[in-house]
Structure 1
Amino acid sequence: MTYKMLVSDLDETFLNDDGTIHEENVQTVKRAVAQGFKFVPNTGRSFESVQKMLKQLDLYDQVGEYVISFNGSAIVENKNNQIIATQDMPFTMAKQIFKAGLIDASVDVHIYTLNKLFIYNISDSDKQYLATRGVAYVALKTTDLSFLNMQQPIMKVIFEHPDIQVRHKIHDAVVASVGIDQVEVTYSSDRYVEFNLKGVDKGSASLLLGEKLGITKDEIMAIGDNNNDLKMIKAAGLGISVANGINVVKEAADIVTKRTNNEGAIAEVLNQFVLIGEQ
């Protein structure tokens, strides 16, 4: 099989734990792209937050190169950050999720619009994590979200807490409020529980981009490490887990890399399936 595109999660997959990029990943991505291969970051974060990374990969402001953001809520062409497709969340739903998931004062909440990230009650650990990834945000001082009605579209709402049991309680509270048939729920980075509009996920966005580019499912590879990567890995022709992936991701994947994210796992994949025979 000739693969034409790799959709890749970023945090704990393509990026090192400290938010930097393994140099071997940088070089193999550049060589693959030079051959016409598509390397598409597929992230829960905004496309604005990955511009520095795109510059390192020579993908910044390039025609015919893409980023999938917000767990699949937006597909963006890198040239002028042109929006190709969005699947946003109704303002009323975002307010309902925010209210239900804010179960106590230890929880912080991220609200992603297309161009801004708003965070209420941000924790010190979350500040540090976002700083390592160069993520800009606007701090909210109030739970009154009426101003967001002018900030449409809203891409997703997520909650941060280090305790998985608290994240489960947030999940249950939101689902009880809005209904499981209304939202896609995923977990990521061992700190977030994320809510998108039902039907929006990294996998469906990957297939949609492939369709727009004339690339079939069988020609797409997908790689990730965590719960929000599952549908992407299952949707692709070849689903891959990094060596540091959680067990459920490893079980769902067709293959598991020998390398972790800190060891250049993407370079391993590209060398094995794309840059075959290259010296």
Structure 2
Amino acid sequence: MLVSDLDETLLNNDGTINPLNVEAIKAAVAQGFKFVPNTGRSFLSVQDLLKTLGLADQADQYVISYNGGVIVENQGNRILDVSGMSLPLAEQIFQAGLVNDAVDVHIYTVDRLFVYNPSAADEEYMAARGVNYEVMADRNLSFLKDEAAITKVIFEHLDAKVQAQIKAAVLKAVGANQVEATFSSSRYVEFNPAGVDKGRATLTLGAKLGIKPEEIMAIGDNSNDLSMIKAAGLGISVANGIPAVKEAAQVVTARTNNQGAVAEVLERYVLKGEEA
């Protein structure tokens, strides 16, 4: 099984997918190999991508979404596992992270996305990736009281210094032991409940499928990918990965995300059968 991050890993910078990746994924899946998107996004927002890969609505094919918050079987989008946070914790995170008026916030439930104060840059980024959302009118989260689960809260700002301020403010407010804090796409600061991450979900899905950790590869580019890269038998960074990801990985691809890095991995370790 290969679990793969999407943005800046599987996908090109413009949100499209390299034809080399499509071809290699289809070839690997035809051999019985599992290709599992492992993303911070909602599983609903990746349906067009799954169609391109021939994985949409397929039994025994899977997506890990919300940084490990939800595991879904593609056929009927059947929910297998949910790890959410309480409304009071989400409210604390939300209020603490609004360090200035230019920050926008995403609140994810299992099947909906609410955005407060969306920036023009964020609107453009989400539109390019087919992300649907509802705009929040104010800073009150009480309307979420009947939701089954809040899966994660993330903040968007393009300035790395502001991202660091958001992380520090939230951890000070809620306690570092209450959340998993990561960064993604050079624009988001992401908060999941403590113990919920891409690595845990990777091992959970592997156990459900009878796939051992040493039989799993994981590929990513940013800090929210570190847990799965460390959990997998073979952790891989794309050539454009951040330094921490490259350092944690056992393999760094020669190709960037824009050049078909995932195809490079599948060609090397699955389709040609090279030993890791």
Q: Shorter-chain TM-score: which interval?
A: over 0.9
Matching residue's letter, 2:112: K
Once the two structures are superposed, residues 42-90 of structure 1 have per-residue CA deviations (whole angstroms, 9 ceiling, x without a partner) of 0000000000000001100000000000000000000000000010011
Please, which moves more after superposition, 258-267 or 141-150?
A: 141-150
What corresponds to 1:59 in structure 2?
Answer: 55
Query: Once superposed, which parts of structure 1, at least 4 consecutive aligned residues long, lie more than 6 Å away?
Result: none
SS in 2 for 1:258: coil
Query: Does structure 2 retain, via aligned residues, the 8 Å contact 1:90–1:154?
Result: yes
What corresponds to 1:13 in structure 2?
Answer: 9
For the residues of structure 2 that align with 1:164 and 1:37, how far apart are their CA atoms? 38
SS in 2 for 1:25: helix
| Equivalent residues, number | 274
Matching residue's letter, 1:220: I
What corresponds to 2:245 in structure 1?
Answer: 249
Query: Does structure 2 retain, via aligned residues, the 8 Å contact 1:230–1:252?
Result: yes
Matching residue's letter, 1:23: P
For the residues of structure 2 that align with 1:151 and 1:126, how far apart are their CA atoms? 25
Matching residue's letter, 1:141: A
What corresponds to 2:220 in structure 1?
Answer: 224
Quote the offset at 1:152 in angstroms. Answer: 2.9
For the residues of structure 1 that align with 2:187 and 2:148, how far apart are their CA atoms? 26
SS in 2 for 1:248: helix
Query: Does structure 2 retain, via aligned residues, the 8 Å contact 1:75–1:83?
Result: yes
SS in 1 for 2:203: helix
Query: Does structure 2 retain, via aligned residues, the 8 Å contact 1:243–1:258?
Result: yes
Report matched runs for 1:178-193 at 5 Å: 178-193=174-189
Please say if 1:272 is aligned against 2:274. Answer: no
Alignment partner for residue 154 of structure 1, among 150, 153, 178? 150
Please say if 1:97 is aligned against 2:96. Answer: no
Query: Does structure 2 retain, via aligned residues, the 8 Å contact 1:227–1:249?
Result: yes
Could you tell me the TM-score, scaled by structure 1's length?
A: 0.97
SS in 2 for 1:150: coil
Matching residue's letter, 2:261: A
Unpaired runs of at least 5, structure 2: none
Report matched runs for 1:1-279 at 5 Å: 5-276=1-272
Matching residue's letter, 1:42: N
Query: Does structure 2 retain, via aligned residues, the 8 Å contact 1:91–1:152?
Result: no
Could you tell me the TM-score, scaled by structure 2's length?
A: 0.98
For the residues of structure 2 that align with 1:197 and 1:185, how far apart are their CA atoms? 9
Query: Does structure 2 retain, via aligned residues, the 8 Å contact 1:218–1:238?
Result: yes
For the residues of structure 1 that align with 2:39 and 2:122, how far apart are their CA atoms? 17
Name the % identity: 63
Quote the offset at 1:151 in angstroms. Answer: 2.3
For the residues of structure 1 that align with 2:166 and 2:53, how far apart are their CA atoms? 37
SS in 2 for 1:170: helix
For the residues of structure 2 that align with 1:49 and 1:260, how far apart are their CA atoms? 23
SS in 2 for 1:206: helix
SS in 2 for 1:274: helix
For the residues of structure 1 that align with 2:150 and 2:65, how far apart are their CA atoms? 12
